[in-house]
């Protein structure tokens, strides 16, 4: 996401949840969201406690994070509100908007 000025916590959370629609490593998330390790750890803790993000371990033993149904529901509602007030981030928004039905 590209923002002018500093992002607030909710914008960072939205970016993390969006990045984790498919399981991702913490390193991948940190690079995608361009946040410090400390901020990432704080957000992960909040998101796991809210059950918006879950820790998963792949067969290879690699630990990853993935958005839960609650997290995806939050994203859908967040982007719906953003759409209603006229704020859009097309890169992330398009993944959550319902597809137009053919006429």
Query: Which domains does the chain show, CATH number per domain?
Result: 9-85 (1.10.10.10)
Overall average pLDDT of the 70-96 stretch: 77
DSSP string, 25-74: -HHHHHHHHT--HHHHHHHHHHHHHTTSEEEEE-TTS-EEEEE-HHHHHH
CA distances from 9 to 32, 56, 63 (A): 16, 24, 24
Question: Is the Cβ–Cβ distance between 43 and 30 less than 8 Å?
Answer: no
Q: Which residues pair with 57 in a beta bridge?
A: 63
Q: Does 77 score more than 50 pLDDT?
A: yes
Label residue 100 by pLDDT band (50, 70, 90): very low
Q: What is the pLDDT of residue 86?
A: 79
Whole-model pTM over 0.95: no
Q: What is the pLDDT of residue 82?
A: 86
Q: What is the pLDDT of residue 39?
A: 94
Give 11-64 pLDDT, tens digit per residue: 999 999 999 999 999 999 999 999 999 999 999 999 999 999 999 999 999 999
Q: Does 2 score more than 80 pLDDT?
A: no
């Amino acid at each position: 996401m590209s923002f002018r000025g500093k992002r607030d916590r909710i914008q960072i959370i939205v970016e993390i949840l969006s990045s984790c629609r498919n399981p991702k490593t913490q390193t991948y998330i940190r690079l995608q969201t361009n946040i410090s390790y400390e901020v990432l750890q704080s957000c992960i803790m909040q998101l796991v406690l809210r059950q918006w993000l879950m820790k998963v371990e792949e067969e290879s033993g690699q630990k990853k994070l993935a958005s839960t149904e609650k997290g995806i529901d939050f994203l859908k509602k967040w982007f719906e509100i953003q759409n209603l007030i006229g704020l859009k981030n097309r890169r992330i928004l398009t993944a959550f908007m319902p597809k137009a039905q053919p006429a």
